[in-house]
Amino acid sequence: MRDVQVWCFVLLFAMVFAALSADQARPASSAVLFEGARLIAGDGRPPIDNSAFIVEGARFTKVGKKGEVQPPSGATRVDLTGKTVIPSLIDIHNHLGWTNQKTNTATRQSYTRALVVDHLQRYAYYGVAATLSMGLDRWDVNPEIPYQLRNEIIPNAARFLTVGRGIAATPMAGPVADYRLGVPYGAQTEAEGRALVHELHARNVEMIKIWLDDRLKTVPKLQVNVYEAIIDEAHRNGMRVVAHIFNLEDAKQLLKSGIDGFAHGVRDRDVDEEYLRILRQHPRVWVGPNLPARTPTAEEATAEITWVSETLPPSQIRRMRDELASRPATAPPNDLFAIQCRNLKKVHDAGMIIGLGTDANIDIGWGAHVELADMVSCGLTPAEVIVAGTRTSAEILKLNDLGTVAPGKSADFIVLDANPLENITNTRKINRVYQRGAAIDRATLKDTLSAEAAN
């Protein structure tokens, strides 16, 4: 008995001593003061030129001007003089797990957890904190992966969200690429539509994706009464509905039918006054403009290839350079881009909520930065597109802890070497990316992501 007491005492002493030494090894406070950066907080207000903000644990606790923000004693200081800080970006439209970036191939078999995680790492590398998969996760190949990955905390990877399985008129009436056929749900009657909403609700999906597109009259399109039933059933269950659209007439009808958001802008023609009038009557409807690839100049394309070589293997960079070299000297006019560009400016001026959606499938992560620049080329200001890609996209996805640099928010932010308000392509000059208060390991990510595929 006595022996046991002695051992208990020894053990207790050892534990206290260990705790004391650990305490001495650690700084007195885990707070970090970041000071000196130009801070673009994502809230639409003018930047704070000489800012200071404190991160404690995973969150921002104080944000203000340098000299006015008092850190707790013992806080670590990080000097960001000359840098610009923006909140991490959020992409409200992707299709992950399809294309292997290392080989530029997409097959029916490619959908694996490892590939989706690789894509989420690409997002994180380029400063994207969270992203929504838009209805084409491989339900036919591995239906549990997207639900398992949802909101999982994976180091050095973006947060993954999903709309679950999207709904078209038939499973063959979604996107046309052969490896995508058969992926969506099909709904031809109101009852089928309502039943699918219940199925998605049971999987805790909060937003439903529908496709309204006859793919140039090659496939059936979701009927108005069917999507109205889907929207009605979704709203009854506290869910929202986002539509892939192509033409103006469908967009008008969807607005009248109570749609919550658009996954694309109007693409078949310039929007008219009637459309803008209907839009103004539905001020809570958002769009992720999801502009089609703009044809870059040779100079822009060369700069872009150099930039993305950080995350693509040399074989893919060679392929991109070869494609650029064989491009005709005079590119034909890019009508699809021009129409959507004009429409974006018009709906923006009409007050529509604009988020950041890239439809990423190949240009995963870096595409978010290209989209920001494309939006600026359509007439939005750099300040406006940064808000679109941060606070507004967080609001659209109901990610209440992301989107701005503000007390209480998750400390997810990007440190830039140059000011994106002067030139939006400066969002590409990433110095560091922070996730939940800690810098992600971009050096290791770069090595992993740009390595040639095994075998």
Residues that bind Zn ion (CB under 5 A): 134, 359
For residue 344, the minimal CB distance to Zn ion (Å) is: 17
For residue 151, the minimal CB distance to Zn ion (Å) is: 21
Q: Is the dihedral of CA 190, 256, 266, 380 positive or negative?
A: negative
**What's the CA gap between 67 and 36, in Å, rounded?**
10
Q: Considering the complex, state which of residue 245 and residue 414 has its C-beta at the smaller distance from Zn ion.
A: 245
Q: Considering the complex, state which of residue 359 and residue 412 has its C-beta at the smaller distance from Zn ion.
A: 359
**What's the CA gap between 136 and 240, in Å, rounded?**
18
For residue 92, the minimal CB distance to Zn ion (Å) is: 10
Please identify which residue in the block is written with the tokens 């892939």.
244
Q: Considering the complex, state which of residue 233 and residue 359 has its C-beta at the smaller distance from Zn ion.
A: 359
Q: Considering the complex, state which of residue 289 and residue 420 has its C-beta at the smaller distance from Zn ion.
A: 289
For residue 384, the minimal CB distance to Zn ion (Å) is: 23
What ranges in 62-112 are assigned the alpha helix state H?
none
What ranges in 203-313 are assigned the alpha helix state H?
224-236, 248-256, 273-280, 298-308
Q: Considering the complex, state which of residue 37 and residue 245 has its C-beta at the smaller distance from Zn ion.
A: 245
Q: Considering the complex, state which of residue 71 and residue 292 has its C-beta at the smaller distance from Zn ion.
A: 292
For residue 42, the minimal CB distance to Zn ion (Å) is: 25
For residue 135, the minimal CB distance to Zn ion (Å) is: 8
- Residues belonging to the chain: 455
Residues 6+ apart with CB under 8 A from 338: none
Please identify which residue in the block is written with the tokens 């000011």.
419
Using CA atoms of 288, 219, 100, 207 in order, give the dihedral in degrees to the nearest 10.
40
Q: Considering the complex, state which of residue 44 and residue 182 has its C-beta at the smaller distance from Zn ion.
A: 182
Q: Considering the complex, state which of residue 33 and residue 134 has its C-beta at the smaller distance from Zn ion.
A: 134
Neighbour tally for 213: CB within 10 Å: 24
Cβ atoms of 196 and 187 closer than 8 Å = yes
For residue 288, the minimal CB distance to Zn ion (Å) is: 9
Determine the Cα angle at 239 with ends 235 and 241, to 5°: 85
Half-sphere exposure of 345 (CA within 13 A, CB side): 13
For residue 263, the minimal CB distance to Zn ion (Å) is: 6
Cβ atoms of 446 and 125 closer than 8 Å = yes
**What's the CA gap between 333 and 226, in Å, rounded?**
38
SS3 content of the chain, % helix, strand, coil (to 5): 35, 20, 45
